[in-house]
Amino acid sequence: MAEGEEIEEKVTKVEDVKEAYKLFGKIDYSVTKMKDFLYVYYLNKKEAKRPPRDASIEWCKAELGKVIDEDLQLFLEILKDENYEVKLLIQKSTNCGALIRQKHLYFVPGADKPIGVLDDVIEFIKDSRNQDFEMKLIQQVENTKE
């Protein structure tokens, strides 16, 4: 690798780390937001630790720091995902039974037809005409605190 390429690579990494810590700063005030991120990270990377329900703010910050150090690109990919909040809602809804997942298809309990695969569910929830469905999911998730 030429010296110029090496310097460019280091600068890119510094910029990525800087961006990661900016994103970290947007969630580090809330143990819930940090646990949510760590849960999504765990879903993306099976060898990661699932965050304990009673995780302290210090534990979460330490784990997030470790993710930034060891898996910077996935950290950025998760938090920069424009559908991060919707995916988190879908995951929490599945955990509490508000949505049912069978293989790659998502169903509303009691419905004959699936909503569809993850992308279909994201689109369905983001559609302003389905705001009542989104509110119902949020309410069910909040009423089933893990």
- Of the listed ranges 40-44, 53-57, 61-65, the least confidently predicted one is 40-44
Residue corresponding to tokens 């509110």: 135
Instruction: Tell the burial category of 26 from Cβ atoms under 10 Å away from its Cβ (0-12, 13-18, 19+).
Output: exposed
| Total-model pTM | 0.80
What DSSP letter does each residue of the chain carry, written as one string? Answer: --HHHHHHHHHHHHHHHHHHHHHHHTTTT-HHHHHHHHHHHHHH-TTSPPPPTT--HHHHHHHHHHHHHH-HHHHHHHHH-TTHHHHHHHHHHHHHTSSEEETTEEE-TT-SS--BSHHHHHHHHHSGGGHHHHHHHHHHHHHT--
The encoded tokens of residue 56 equal 């302290």
What is the mean pLDDT of the segment spanning 103-129? 94
Segment 121-146 shows an average pLDDT of 92
pLDDT-derived band at 100, boundaries 50, 70, 90? very high
Among 14-23, 40-49, 126-135, the least confident range: 40-49
Q: Please, what is the average pLDDT of the chain?
A: 92
Report d(CA 119, CA 125) in Å as an integer: 10
Mean pLDDT for the stretch of residues 16-25: 95
pLDDT beyond 80 at 1: no
Domain boundaries of the chain, sorted by first residue? 3-81, 85-143
Residues ≥6 apart with Cβ < 8 Å to 138? 89
